[in-house]
Amino acid sequence: MKRLVLTVALMIAIVATGFSQDKPQVIKLDQTAGKFTVEQMTVSAGKYIFEVSNVGVDHELGFVLVPVKNGKEGEHIKASYLSKTIKDGETAKSKVVNLTPGTYSYFCPLNPTPHYTITVK
């Protein structure tokens, strides 16, 4: 009986540990000619993967994410770069990006698009 209780306790601990892991969430974005279809968003602090699709643009596209402080954009967050540039009909993902509270801009320098806002709370 003691062994059964210990086994169940160990299984619960393993499951609880697995759920407490900070698994990245995926943010899906579509790019069309000259713009992203999502122009602003608010998310919670945490780990994210950006999945970007080229929808009808006849040349390759990319994705850039930068922090914004005091109204000025900072350095590119390199982990946010897509795994490859994407042609019409293709999709690519970034690496895991840890977003902390603050403001960020995202854009495509190849499309080019306006700079859109992500607010992280």
DSSP the chain: -HHHHHHHHHHHHHHHHHHHS-PPEEEEEEEETTEES--EEEE-SEEEEEEEEE-S-SS-B--EEEEEETTEE----GGGSBSS-B-TT-EEEB--EEEPSEEEEEE-TTTT-PPEEEEE-
Is the pLDDT at 6 greater than 70? The verdict is: no
Cα separation, 40 vs 116, in Å, equals: 6
Confidence band (pLDDT; 50, 70, 90) for 7? very low
Domain extent listing, the chain: 22-120
Contacts of 32 (CB under 8 A, 6+ apart): 55, 56, 57
What's the fold here for domain 22-120? Immunoglobulin-like (2.60.40)
pLDDT digits (tens, 9 = 90+) for 28-66: 999 999 999 999 999 999 999 999 999 999 999 999 999
CB distance 91 to 111 below 8 Å: no
CB distance 47 to 24 below 8 Å: yes
Q: Burial-class residue 116 by CB neighbours within 10 Å (0-12, 13-18, 19+).
A: middle
pLDDT digits (tens, 9 = 90+) for 78-105: 999 999 999 999 999 999 999 999 999 9
